C-alpha cells in the first residue's frame, strides 16, 4: 500500500474513532517502511486536527472527540513504544486553568483535551485558580505554556494579574501565555501583554503547534 493511502487510513481511523483501523495503519506503515513519526504527525495528528475543526463547526460533538482521543492515545503509545526515546521530541508542558472567581470550565476543558492529543503534557489546574497558583505551577512543572480562561468581564482582570506576576518572577519570555474565554479579545491580550489570544480550541492548538515548531 502506498504511503499516501496509509496516512489517509491513519487519519480516517481518528475521524471514525476506529482503533482496529489505527493499528492496521500502523502495521502497514511498519511493513512498508513509512516513517512512524511522519505517520503520527501527517496521519493520526492530521485526523485530530480535522476533527477539532469539525467540532468547532458543530458537525462532531464532544463525546465523539473523546472517543477519537482514546484511539489517538493508543496509536501514540504504540508508536512511542516502537521508537528510540530520543527520536520522540517532547512537545512541551502546559499549565491551564479557569481564573479565580470563575467557575466556567467547559471551554477550558475542551482546549486541554485537544492540546493533550497533540503530545503536549497538560496540567489542568481546574477552576477558580488564583493567579499566584498559576505561576507556582508553572515553576513546579517547568511549564513552557500557560493558558488561562475567563468567562466573565469581572474575572478577566485575573489574566492581567497573571502577566504581572510572571514579570515579577522573571518568567516573562520563558513561558508563553495564551488567554481565552467569551469576553476576551486580542485587544485585551495585547493590553495585558499575553503572547496570544485564542478564539476557540482549534486556534489554541494551532497557536501552540506553531510555537512548538519554532522551538
Partner 1 sequence: MSESKKYFTRMGDGAIVYMTEEEIRQDIEAGVQDAAKRGKIDPLTEEEKEKLYQIIAMPGSLVGVEHGMQVVTSNDSGSDKINTKCGIPTSRDTNAMIHERLLGCDSVDIGYSDYNYKTVKGVAKREATVLKQALNKCTMPLFYGAMPNLGFYTKPDGPVDNWAVLLPEGKIKEAMTAQEEAVEHAVRDMVYVAEQMHDVGADAFMLDTSGAAGDADFLAALKATEIINERFPDMPVEIGMAGEFVLGMHGKLKYKDVRLAGLYPHKQVKMVEEAGGSIFGVVVNTNSNKSFPWNIGRVCTFVKACTEAASIPVHANVGMGVCGIPMVENLPTDIVARADKALIEIGKIDGL
How far apart CA 145 and CA 161 sit, in angstroms, is: 16
Closer by beta carbon to partner 1, 42 or else 124: 124
Separation in Å, CA 180 to CA 25, 74, 121, 208: 36, 30, 19, 13
Any contact of residue 66 with partner 1 (CB under 8 A)? yes
The correct pick among 5, 77, 83, 106 for binding partner 1 (CB under 8 A) is 106
How far apart CA 128 and CA 104 sit, in angstroms, is: 9
Residues 6+ apart with CB under 8 A from 32: 1, 3, 6
CA-nearest of 86, 65, 78 to 17 is 65
CA-nearest of 137, 127, 114 to 181 is 127
The correct pick among 77, 83, 103, 167 for binding partner 1 (CB under 8 A) is 103
- Say if residues 136 and 94 touch (Cβ distance below 8 Å): no
Give the nearest distance from C-beta 66 to partner 1 in angstroms.
5
Any contact of residue 70 with partner 1 (CB under 8 A)? yes
- Number of residues this chain uses to bind partner 1 (CB under 8 A): 33
- Applying CB under 8 A, the span of 7-15, 39-47, 83-91, 109-117 interacting with partner 1 comes to 109-117
Closer by beta carbon to partner 1, 86 or else 187: 187
The correct pick among 27, 35, 89, 126 for binding partner 1 (CB under 8 A) is 126
How far apart CA 4 and CA 24 sit, in angstroms, is: 14
The correct pick among 27, 61, 90, 167 for binding partner 1 (CB under 8 A) is 61
Give the nearest distance from C-beta 97 to partner 1 in angstroms.
12
Any contact of residue 108 with partner 1 (CB under 8 A)? yes
Cell representation of residue 71: 484511539
Residues between 149 and 208 with contacts to partner 1, criterion CB under 8 A: 153, 182-188, 199
Say whether 134 sits in a helix, a strand or coil. Answer: helix
Interface with partner 1 (CB under 8 A): 55, 57-64, 66-67, 69-70, 103-106, 108-109, 112-113, 116, 124, 126, 153, 182-188, 199
Amino acid at each position: 500500500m502506498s504511503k499516501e493511502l496509509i496516512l489517509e487510513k491513519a487519519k480516517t481511523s481518528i475521524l471514525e474513532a476506529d482503533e482496529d483501523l489505527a493499528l492496521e495503519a500502523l502495521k502497514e506503515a511498519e511493513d512498508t517502511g513509512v516513517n512512524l513519526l511522519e505517520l503520527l504527525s501527517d496521519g493520526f495528528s492530521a485526523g485530530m486536527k480535522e476533527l477539532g475543526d469539525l467540532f468547532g463547526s458543530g458537525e462532531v460533538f464532544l463525546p465523539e472527540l473523546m472517543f477519537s482521543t482514546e484511539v489517538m492515545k493508543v496509536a501514540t503509545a504504540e508508536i512511542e513504544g516502537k521508537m528510540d526515546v530520543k527520536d520522540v521530541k517532547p512537545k512541551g508542558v502546559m499549565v491551564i486553568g479557569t481564573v479565580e472567581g470563575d467557575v466556567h470550565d467547559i471551554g477550558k476543558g475542551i482546549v486541554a483535551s485537544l492540546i493533550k492529543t497533540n503530545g503536549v503534557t497538560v496540567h489542568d489546574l481546574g477552576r477558580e485558580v488564583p493567579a499566584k497558583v498559576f505561576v507556582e505551577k508553572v515553576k513546579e512543572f517547568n511549564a513552557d505554556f500557560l493558558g488561562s480562561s475567563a468567562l466573565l468581564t469581572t474575572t478577566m482582570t485575573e489574566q492581567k494579574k497573571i502577566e504581572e506576576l510572571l514579570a515579577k518572577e522573571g518568567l516573562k519570555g520563558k513561558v508563553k501565555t495564551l488567554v481565552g474565554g467569551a469576553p476576551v479579545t486580542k485587544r485585551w491580550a495585547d493590553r495585558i501583554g499575553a503572547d496570544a489570544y485564542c478564539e476557540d480550541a482549534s486556534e489554541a492548538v494551532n497557536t501552540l503547534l506553531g510555537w512548538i515548531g519554532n522551538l
